[in-house]
Chain A
Amino acid sequence: MLNDQELKTIILKDSVPKLSDDFYGRIERSVKSTSSPIVGDVLAWQDYLLKPQILILVMLAIIATVTLLNVSTVHSDDDLTKVDALSFSSSLTL
């Protein structure tokens, strides 16, 4: 008896018939006549943006942005402390 892998190999061994020459032209014409071109582009972008790799990149970008914002806030606090110290020493000098 064949095992599953052998069965799959035999099925895939048959070559799939070639698409007719004008297949993509046919699709283009029929889709054009029945829908807005924007829908197709939106779908294509949705497909692209929902890919796990893209989602991971977006997450990483958000994490990086949040981290950078925190760092810059901490720096701003430091700067404020420095300014306070400066103004304190200036007033002392005066």
Chain B
Amino acid sequence: MAGDASASLQLVKKLTPKAHAVAWRILGNSDDAEDVLQEAFIRLFRANQFQGKSSLDTYFYKIVTRLCFDYLKSKYKHSSEFFDEEVVEGGDVVAEAHQTAATMQQAIGLLNPRQRMAISLWAYKDADVVEIAELLEIDKNAAHQLLHRAKANLKKILELNHVK
């Protein structure tokens, strides 16, 4: 990455803004998002494992979402129910927790990590169900369900909290 005009720096500058927004929404903190992006770029450039099966953009977001998930998993390692899709689906967690959501960031923070990832990719990257499935390495039906639940839960939280 020698000099501002280098192709790789241009690539970093092209990928960063949206990826930072996605990571920030998933992690809830800009500093953590920057750390994740730094690690993602190191992995992207360390060994050229990109084989062109998907776009470089998709390949990079796959690294970013995986790192975000690992980060949250280590942060919440003592609360396994946080990662349990069923608990959030049931609505109890959302119904209890909505009391504390005063901002959009807090509202998104009440979703479980996979739902956060799906909603952030949908909002900031314009990712559809097929792309979300590829990025989160799940099948298309699971991605459809995940995005549907994420939207429904978030709408419920926002309406209960009058977040605008």
Contact = CB atoms under 8 A, between A and B. Distances in A.
Query: Do A and B bind?
Result: yes
B123 A44 contact: no
Chain B interface, DSSP helix/strand/loop, else mixed = helix
A14 B42 CA distance: 29
A75 interface: no
Chain A: interface size category: 35 or more
A40 B50 CA distance: 11
The number of chain B residues touching the other chain, given as a range, is 35 or more
A31 B124 contact: no
A16 B159 contact: no
A45 B105 CA distance: 36
B56 interface: yes
Given A31-B41, A37-B1, A42 B48 contact: yes
Contact of B164 (A1, A8, A10, A45): A10
A40 B10 CA distance: 10
Given A43-B8, A50-B56, 11 more contacts: A1-B159, A14-B105, A16-B20, A20-B30, A31-B8, A35-B47, A40-B1, A40-B7, A41-B8, A44-B8, A46-B56
